[in-house]
Structure 1
């Protein structure tokens, strides 16, 4: 068994392996020549080396990719194809004049009214001029002398093509595509001079989509089949409109449409019944745009949203307290408008006070039912003192008269855990008649 095995190890390789190695060596020595199959040319290296040994196509694959050095220490790129975003093209890049001529031809189509042909032309230019996604690699190559290729992030043709492309899609009613194009423009070219125009178009798109939910009298909504032509999102038109308005705020936070965008978002949430979110956006407009002409409307709408968000006396009272402060702020900031809105604001303050009195009365009833007499008297007495003319004050007086006849019972001491050496505040027991008894707002006695 061992003897044949040793003979197989020392024997020569098969003829097929030898032929394969010879083929690999031939391919490596011949190189990959452009315009023909490297395998066929590698099979006949001697027939072609004498004629094109100095031609650029006879360089090896690595040399063709990197280029050949010249006498002036620059890099000379050689022929071949390269894969661009719009397809395969020659390695030789276009000159500025050629790119300018291509853009002018597309612009002429736009000015002549041929929007379909202009859209295709601008889309082709935008694809070619799109900034490279491999930023670190291009930045590293830009530091090497002779390899400083054209930086497409500084291309005016790509920036202007995206703007024209968004305008064409907006005029054709493809609002979804127009919004995507303007967002790509603002993302790839943050310093574009077309910022105001792009933001204005996005604001109009959001208004058009919000009109589907609350149609205006002078602007009918788009037909249902506009969803299949890019006029409307397929689902959740209101949510997409809010997202577009958020983009308006983010792209131009100090622009003339930032405050109007916040108000449209707040109005949308108020119309669909989400009053807490509406109040949140109204407060953002108040805090972020204190000099906006929409400030008074935002203050009044914030008060209404907080009132509508209040559920009842059993729930949190923070919203009503904030509504009261907002109403007082509106009266301080706009004293000249008190003649027209004073009745509404004073009525709002009375309504908030009535709700607060009802909440205290509900708390007093709970403590009375639980047997905490002093705590119940605290809440009922506060109603009589703060709102003596309200209907809740009359009910509170009746409750106080009944509580005065109720016996005071001793409260059993608690068995709370304290640290070693600590004092248990409940060790001596607490009487329900002690001013330091249990109850909200009271202090703990000795």
Structure 2
């Protein structure tokens, strides 16, 4: 132990001399690793090391140090302080102009000249905009809301300011700009807590534009320079776009099926039955619990009937209409009154008549070109599937008349072809071997190869007892 005392004394003296020298030179005294510096600026690493053990954590707010205002995260950084933006580099191609990083450079220049993100200024603009909004000065409030979210991007202030800017434009009756502002908010914050309110506003604007077009329709290219409540071009088109955005942005929301139904009804009233049918079908398939299911079935049936162009065109609308008629009778039997049931029965009878007409015309077509085999198939189908139609009796009469006719027409040069000698290779190709289905695998059998013309070639007797019986 005595040998260590001089050594400890030497270390103590060296430490005192070092501390004294640092104080004389006005330099910070050396510290042990991990101790930190209580005099360091607030928020720095050394300050946090010195005060971390004294910090008290409050759930939902952060760490708080006695005597210091504000809250800090687990690294000692102020909660609402600006942080350096991290730009993730990707392997995507830079394009023809190269990876210039224009946005990052512009942001850097703004910060250098004092125009970078500023939370204090953003909060000030937001508060002033709120005061203007309460005084119903909506146009001026919208400008200040825009300044607020521009001053502090990627923050809660930005999200709230973007929403309030759209609201101010909505109350200022500037519906076109309000729609653009709502869409910008949802694009950047698709899960925003303001989503329900945004969807409600979009539906109201779309409904207003649709009703205006129904009252005063205009051409697609007719400009609007006076009325701020409507877009510059294509009022009804922007209305349909709003309805579609409602379904895309909030597909499980309470207004999604209403938006689809509104689109379908608008297309139906304008005679665009193909587009209307697509919307009604989407509603029937994607929203089976919607209150519009019955109307979607009824109007979808009307669309399909109007889409049908006649027996010379595609018959898919008729087949799909039959499916809808069956669904209406089964799924909505309790909602159908006597008049509706009678009307459905008439539609069902009309569908059967149209389908029978299609098959009967096909039969007449094949009958006219003497393809009697195909004609008999279609005549028989009319008799079997549509026995209650007048065409069933006509099919029966004509089927009896062509009963003895060949399936296919006879060629004029066929007798001449039969007189010509057969080619040996064609004879082999025409040979059709068929295994006797009842032949026993153990009983002695013989081979018979019959040509397609019914003649047995020479050497037809088989000599082997294991050869299967082959016949035509």
How far, CA to CA, are the matches of 1:168 and 1:306 in structure 2? 44
Q: How does 1:303-342 map to 2 (within 5 A)?
A: 303-340=301-338, 341-342=340-341
2:222 equivalent to 1:199: no
* Residue equivalent to 1:170: 170
How far, CA to CA, are the matches of 2:130 and 2:350 in structure 1? 62
CA RMSD of aligned residues (A): 3.8
How far, CA to CA, are the matches of 1:72 and 1:359 in structure 2? 89
Cα offset, 1:355, TM superposition: 0.8
Q: How does 1:52-131 map to 2 (within 5 A)?
A: 72=46, 91=114, 96=119, 98-129=121-152
* Residue equivalent to 1:293: 291
SS of the equivalent of 2:232 reads coil
Give a deviation string over 1:21-59, Cα, whole Å, max 9, x none. xxxxxxxxxxxxxxxxxxxxxxxxxxxxxxxxxxxxxxx
Query: Relative to structure 1, is the Cα distance of residues 268 and 423 closer, same or farther in structure 2, using a 3 angstrom cutoff?
Result: farther
Cα offset, 1:378, TM superposition: 2.3
How far, CA to CA, are the matches of 1:208 and 1:264 in structure 2? 12
How far, CA to CA, are the matches of 2:390 and 2:332 in structure 1? 32
Query: Relative to structure 1, is the Cα distance of residues 120 and 95 closer, same or farther in structure 2, using a 3 angstrom cutoff?
Result: closer
Give a deviation string over 1:363-415, Cα, whole Å, max 9, x none. 0110011111232122123222332332222432443354347677665699x
Cα offset, 1:221, TM superposition: 7.9
Of the two, which has the highest radius of gyration? 2
Query: Relative to structure 1, is the Cα distance of residues 176 and 212 closer, same or farther in structure 2, using a 3 angstrom cutoff?
Result: same
What's the TM-score once normalised by structure 1's chain length?
0.64
* Residue equivalent to 1:185: 185
Query: Relative to structure 1, is the Cα distance of residues 335 and 423 closer, same or farther in structure 2, using a 3 angstrom cutoff?
Result: farther
Q: How does 1:361-440 map to 2 (within 5 A)?
A: 361-404=360-403, 411=410, 428=452
How far, CA to CA, are the matches of 1:85 and 1:271 in structure 2? 54
How far, CA to CA, are the matches of 1:71 and 1:292 in structure 2? 58
* Residue equivalent to 1:46: none
Q: How does 1:12-51 map to 2 (within 5 A)?
A: none
How far, CA to CA, are the matches of 1:225 and 1:318 in structure 2? 40
Query: Relative to structure 1, is the Cα distance of residues 72 and 409 closer, same or farther in structure 2, using a 3 angstrom cutoff?
Result: closer
How far, CA to CA, are the matches of 1:127 and 1:327 in structure 2? 57
How far, CA to CA, are the matches of 1:190 and 1:409 in structure 2? 66
How far, CA to CA, are the matches of 2:167 and 2:431 in structure 1? 76
SS of the equivalent of 2:336 reads helix
Give a deviation string over 1:80-132, Cα, whole Å, max 9, x none. xx966997885486765553332111101011011222122112223323xxx
4+ aligned runs moved over 6 Å, structure 1: 85-89, 92-95, 421-425
* Residue equivalent to 2:355: 356
* Residue equivalent to 2:274: 276
SS of the equivalent of 2:314 reads coil
Query: Relative to structure 1, is the Cα distance of residues 180 and 86 closer, same or farther in structure 2, using a 3 angstrom cutoff?
Result: farther
Q: Which structure's residues are more often helix, by fraction?
A: 1
Query: Relative to structure 1, is the Cα distance of residues 355 and 94 closer, same or farther in structure 2, using a 3 angstrom cutoff?
Result: closer
Assess if the C-alpha contact under 8 Å between 1:85 and 1:127 holds in 2.
Answer: no
Give a deviation string over 1:310-335, Cα, whole Å, max 9, x none. 11112222221111112211222222
Cα offset, 1:422, TM superposition: 7.4
Give a deviation string over 1:394-443, Cα, whole Å, max 9, x none. 432443354347677665699xxx9xx97798x948xxxxxxxxxxxxxx
For structure 1, the 5+ residue unaligned runs are 1-69, 130-151, 430-445
| Alignment: residue pair count | 326
Cα offset, 1:254, TM superposition: 0.2
Assess if the C-alpha contact under 8 Å between 2:359 and 2:382 holds in 1.
Answer: yes
